[in-house]
Amino acid sequence: MKTDVIIVGAGPAGSMAAINSKCDTILIDQRAEIGVPKQCAEGVSESLFEKIGIKPKKEWISKEIKATSLISPSGIEIKLDDKRVKRAKFGFVLNRKNFDKGLAEIAANTGAELMPKTRFIRAEKTKNGVKIYAKRFNKKIEIVGKILIACDGVQSRAAKSFGLNTTLPLRYIESCYQYEMTNIEIEPAVELYFGRVYAPGGYLWIFPKGENSANVGVGIVPSLTEKRAEDYLDDFLKRERLKGGKIVEINAGAVPVSTPLEKTYADNLMVCGDAARMVNPLTGGGIHTACISGSIAGRIATGAIEKEDYSEKFLSEYQKLWRNEFGRELEYYGKAQEVLIKLTDAELDKIAESLLEIKLESISTMEVLKAILKMNPKLLWKLKSLVV
């Protein structure tokens, strides 16, 4: 098989890359059904669709969020709602299965060749391009192209084939476990529980999905505890409020919580989304950055094919552009995470107390982080010593 651009992985990054690639494009994914299994808490900020220039379909969105509660280890709740937040846009809980499949459909309808159940095995560079080996059902296939865009998630094999080391130490990867539950009492509000008691190094979440259903999950940094993600979640489910809850789906996965890969391009290669660790390390959110980086990679690939220049030098523009969009922000959150992860539960409770009266202009990681630092100047000093 021959094409211009080969994209591995039809998650949001891969599909957005395919949508924005205006040349011959093949998009492969090892799954038989795009979007399944879900490995995500499904929350996104309100600006996502505007940013990626795609009008969301009704079935992509499960629930509009009306508030976000931050809950400290001892139970102090900071409820950020329209009384506290001036521009009260909180975002959505997506239906990732529909969203991912929907984006892949758009990619297919705009000209990309979509190949489900096609598992990437390895890639090699050819004289002036790239050749990938894959397995479609039980058949070995080869695809020859000019550019490879690696969107194959946190376990990226495609980037590794080109010598980019994408393996993360356990300190920088969250072990995640989640139940989609029904028959629970739920407001259209996100609840985030912090502290070693709930989730060492991460947090425990409730993301509303419907009138009485939600994603209830946990992400932990495994190097900080002997217990498993599953243990923390099952402990949490013993609460009175969740006792009648029924599990309708179980999800597990890994989320990178470091800063992005230092180099996300090489001759004939660009790396996007989770594969390039483009995740907000404070929230674990990566849909936004996956979509944006994928879009940029698709556009750069189009230019490269037009100019017949697939060199590292030409593709370095990709890194420049995504860094402009969100690079500095993620670096900053990475530094903040280094400080916050060391806090004890008692210190987290103190921070929660300091936030009891806060008012915010809008809701975002940056706004919340700024408020925390303003009320806790000691943390600011710690952070400054890391940033400088």
Partner 1 sequence: MVKINKDVCMLCGGCASVCPFNCITVTEREVIIENCKECGTCEKFCPVGAIE
* CB 246, min distance to partner 1, A: 19
- Residue 76 CB-density burial (10 A; 0-12 exposed, 13-18 middle, 19+ buried): middle
Q: Is 119 in the site for partner 1 (CB under 8 A)?
A: yes
Residues 154-213 touching partner 1, rule: CB under 8 A, are 154-155, 157, 160, 167-170, 173, 175-177
Q: Is 254 in the site for partner 1 (CB under 8 A)?
A: yes
Q: Is 12 in the site for partner 1 (CB under 8 A)?
A: no
* # residues contacting partner 1 (CB under 8 A): 31
Among 74, 223, 344, 385, binds partner 1 (CB under 8 A): 223
Nearer to partner 1, 21 or 161 (CB): 161
Residue 356 CB: number of other CB atoms within 10 A?
Answer: 10
Q: Is 285 in the site for partner 1 (CB under 8 A)?
A: no
Q: Is 251 in the site for partner 1 (CB under 8 A)?
A: yes
* CB 91, min distance to partner 1, A: 25
The closest of 103, 163, 141, 113 to 6, measured between CA atoms, is 113
DSSP string, 172-192: GEEEEEEEEEES----SEEEE
* CB 165, min distance to partner 1, A: 9
Tokens of 117: 């159940």
* CB 369, min distance to partner 1, A: 27
Residue partners of 339: CB distance under 8 A and separation at least 6: 379, 382, 383, 386
Cα separation, 367 vs 388, whole angstroms: 21
- Residue 382 CB-density burial (10 A; 0-12 exposed, 13-18 middle, 19+ buried): middle
* CB 40, min distance to partner 1, A: 11
- Contact (CB, 8 A) for 330 and 377: no
Q: Is 387 in the site for partner 1 (CB under 8 A)?
A: no
Nearer to partner 1, 160 or 323 (CB): 160
Cα separation, 271 vs 156, whole angstroms: 9
* CB 219, min distance to partner 1, A: 9
* CB 217, min distance to partner 1, A: 10
Residue partners of 208: CB distance under 8 A and separation at least 6: 62, 63, 65, 93, 186, 187, 188, 189, 190, 214
Cα separation, 305 vs 352, whole angstroms: 52
Residues 22-51 touching partner 1, rule: CB under 8 A, are 30-32, 37, 39
Using CB under 8 A as the criterion, which residues of the chain lie in contact with partner 1 when the complex forms? 30-32, 37, 39, 117, 119, 153-155, 157, 160, 167-170, 173, 175-177, 222-223, 228-230, 250-254, 256
